[in-house]
Amino acid sequence: MDTTYFLQHLEMILIERLNALRFLKKKVDGIIFSGTRFTEKHKISIENTTIPFLVFGQDFEHKNIVAMNIDNKRAAYEATKFLFSNGAQNVAMIGGPLWDRAAGYDRFMGFLTASVEEGVNPSKIIYKEGDFTIKSGYELMKTILSNVKVDGVIAANDFMALGAIKCLFDLGFSVPNDVQVIGFDDNIISEIYNPSLTTIKIDFNKAGRIAAKSIIEKINGNNTEKYIVLDYKLIIRKSTK
């Protein structure tokens, strides 16, 4: 299933459930959100209930919500710096939608900050906005290569990174000899793909345990952190030198 299609329909389902206050009051003690876009309808629904909420993967500020995420700006900064330190000189980014504050905007800002520190003129930044799908990674990589020469690419998730690698191979480029590629999230496909993908690893199993523990604490009326910062790690594989 296309990721964008899935998230759009997930959002619709969540809105319907959030607006059904009887469901909220009688069926659940707490809710963990993951991987959805938050709208004004979500905010209004949250205002109308006392049920504890935890949001994973978005930096969502609200007095009734616990937010949990990695430092996306720092992670993208470190990934970009790694490409430059590894010999890349013209680094492009295939980013996520900028409305996505965490995986879109913050990862772009980390890339931008690192690039400027490396002497890149902000007006010369090579950036294209995708939608987290393999197809968009492929098409945007093709667009980038039609305009400029690059030797490094950072993508805002692994799917777009894998799409970029497929495009590079189809156009006769070698990864990593000609172009080095880094992704985000450490999807299971990334380890078995050829070449295996260098990526920012988020331990989702650990994140799930922390989320469950935090929401239970909140349900029990105990004090919890308003924002939980998760660890991440740059996993170096064969898509970089």
List, for residues 49-78, the tens digit of each pLDDT value. Answer: 778 888 888 777 777 788 899 999 999 999
**How far is residue 16's CA from residue 26's CA, in Å, rounded to a whole number?**
15
Phi, psi of 118 (to 5 degrees): -85, 5
pLDDT for 26: 53
For residues 93-99, average pLDDT: 95
pLDDT digits (tens, 9 = 90+) for 151-202: 999 999 999 999 999 999 999 999 999 999 999 999 999 999 999 999 999 9
- Do domains 3-70+203-230 and 72-201 share one topology? The answer is yes
Higher pLDDT, 43 or 52: 52
- State the DSSP code for 123: G
Q: Which helix (H) or strand (E) holds 56?
A: strand 53-56
Looking at residue 121, the DSSP 8-state letter turns out to be: -
List beta partners, residue 169.
none
Give the sign of the dihedral formed by CA 131, CA 132, CA 133, CA 137.
positive
pLDDT of 23 higher than 50: no
Selected residue with higher pLDDT from 76 and 1: 76
Q: Domain 3-70+203-230: which CATH class?
A: alpha beta
Q: Are 105 and 60 in contact (CB under 8 A)?
A: no
pLDDT at 221: 85
CATH of 72-201 given 3.30.930.10, 3.40.630.20, 3.90.550.10, 3.40.50.2300:
3.40.50.2300
pLDDT category at 98 given cuts 50, 70, 90 is: very high
pLDDT at residue 164 in the model: 98
Q: Where do we find the tokens 């997930």?
A: 10
8 Å CB contact between 160 and 136: yes
Which residues are 56's β-sheet partners?
A: 34, 68
DSSP 8-class letter at 197: P
Q: How many residues does the chain have?
A: 241
Q: Where are the domains of the chain?
A: 3-70+203-230, 72-201
pLDDT of 119-152, one tens digit each? 999 999 999 999 999 999 999 999 999 999 999 9
